[in-house]
Amino acid sequence: MAFHFHPLVASRVHFSPLPFAAATGAPSPSSSVAIAAHYHHHGRRRFSAIVATATTTEFNFKAYMEERAVAVNRALDAAIPAGGLPAALHDAMRYALLAGGKRVRPALCLAACAVVGGPESWAMPAAAAVEMVHTMSLVHDDLPCMDDDDLRRGKPTCHVVYGEPIAVLAGDALLSLSFHHMASVGSYPPAVDPEKHPARVVRAIGELARCIGSEGLVAGQVVDLEMTGTSQTVPLELLEYIHLHKTAALLEASVVIGAIIGGGTDEQIEALRKYARSIGLLFQVVDDILDVTKSSEELGKTAGKDLASDKTTYPKLLGLAKSREFAEKLVSDATEQLACFDEEKAAPLLHLANYIAHRQN
């Protein structure tokens, strides 16, 4: 079977089988070491050096993610009034936003800020903002008139608990709050309030806004809905359009916004954009794989749904083994973009890429 990748991705995918995962069918538990060995074998010294450092200094990814999740949850909690009029709206916003997601997007945003040399705290408002946008898209996509999903992160979805009108409005409020949060002096630490770096904030807001509408999340959802209604198999090119918009766009924005707020150069920002595009598509390929290989309990959401609805997925188009192979290529391609950064500072982004590739839910 021939692969036809989306132009955004194709330019960076150079196929050669990796020595793990795809062949065995199971993600390797020590995959970053395996990648390092693979690239060392192929003489890509700089990249292997990064990975080796990241692994030999025993970067504690679990602790890193937990610390970020705590800080992000604190910022999100503080951003939405508890109680006060209108109580139902605030309750619904808090219910959807504080449901305990993995906070992958905020972590990417904070890590991108740090890798370009900005103190991580500068990107906290942006990290909270991307999670608000992500939550908004989940709340609206779950609506009865859209994907009609009752379960999300192991809990009843927002409209099941609060009703459809409040779910629509809570999504709208989260979307506007994300921009308000990024534009407000009060959200930033004193050293980087928007009045001191307004040009960075404007640029970051532009990136966030672009990834939502007709060039991002919404466009992906529209085409996804159109495809769901038909019995025909979606061609790979269109499947990638959907995922690059519905999933990758916000992951890209999360990384790019962090780099902008952190004061990254244009070259750094573009390298990180490429990294983010690969992991964005990777995220969805892995999602598709998990849908056919895991139970609802393991996922915290309805499993097997893609299969039941005859939805086109990577496993359906490529088969499970080739899908895993594609995932491994995307993760190696993404991490390659980190070669131009300080090794130690790039460790979180490297581990995030591996985590997205090998997560179990």
Residues that bind a copy of itself (CB under 8 A): 80-81, 85-86, 88-90, 93, 136, 140, 143, 145-146, 163-166, 168-169, 171-180, 183-184, 194-195, 198-199, 201-203, 205-206, 208-210, 212-214, 216-219, 221-223, 225-226, 241
Cβ at position 263, least distance to a copy of itself in Å: 14
Cβ at position 220, least distance to a copy of itself in Å: 9
Cβ at position 87, least distance to a copy of itself in Å: 9
Q: Which one, 52 or 183, has the nearer CB to a copy of itself?
A: 183
* CA–CA separation, 107 and 124 (whole Å): 10
CB 108 within 8 A of CB 131: no
Q: Which one, 197 or 324, has the nearer CB to a copy of itself?
A: 197
Cβ at position 84, least distance to a copy of itself in Å: 8
Cβ at position 93, least distance to a copy of itself in Å: 7
Task: Please compute, for residue 11, the number of CA atoms within 13 A of its CA located in the half-sphere on the CB side.
Answer: 5
Q: Which one, 4 or 196, has the nearer CB to a copy of itself?
A: 196
Q: Which one, 106 or 171, has the nearer CB to a copy of itself?
A: 171
Cβ at position 231, least distance to a copy of itself in Å: 19
Burial class (CB in 10 A: 0-12, 13-18, 19+), 210: middle
Cβ at position 315, least distance to a copy of itself in Å: 25
Q: Which one, 50 or 136, has the nearer CB to a copy of itself?
A: 136
Q: Which one, 218 or 234, has the nearer CB to a copy of itself?
A: 218
3-state secondary structure the chain: CCCCCCHHHHCCCCCCCCCCCCCCCCCCCCHHHHHHHHHHHCCCHHHHHHHHHHHHCCCCHHHHHHHHHHHHHHHHHHHCCCCCCCHHHHHHHHHHHCCCCCCHHHHHHHHHHHHCCCCHHHHHHHHHHHHHHHHHHHHHHCCCCCCCCCEECCEECHHHHHCHHHHHHHHHHHHHHHHHHHHCHHHCCHHHCCCCCHHHHHHHHHHHHHCCCCCCHHHHHHHHHHHHCCCCCCCHHHHHHHHHHHHHHHHHHHHHHHHHHCCCCHHHHHHHHHHHHHHHHHHHHHHHHHHHHCCHHHHCCCCCHHHHCCCCCHHHHHCHHHHHHHHHHHHHHHHHHHHHCCHHHHHHHHHHHHHHHHCCC
Q: Which one, 38 or 140, has the nearer CB to a copy of itself?
A: 140
Cβ at position 317, least distance to a copy of itself in Å: 19
Q: Which one, 63 or 199, has the nearer CB to a copy of itself?
A: 199
* CA–CA separation, 142 and 223 (whole Å): 16
Q: Which one, 136 or 285, has the nearer CB to a copy of itself?
A: 136
Cβ at position 5, least distance to a copy of itself in Å: 17
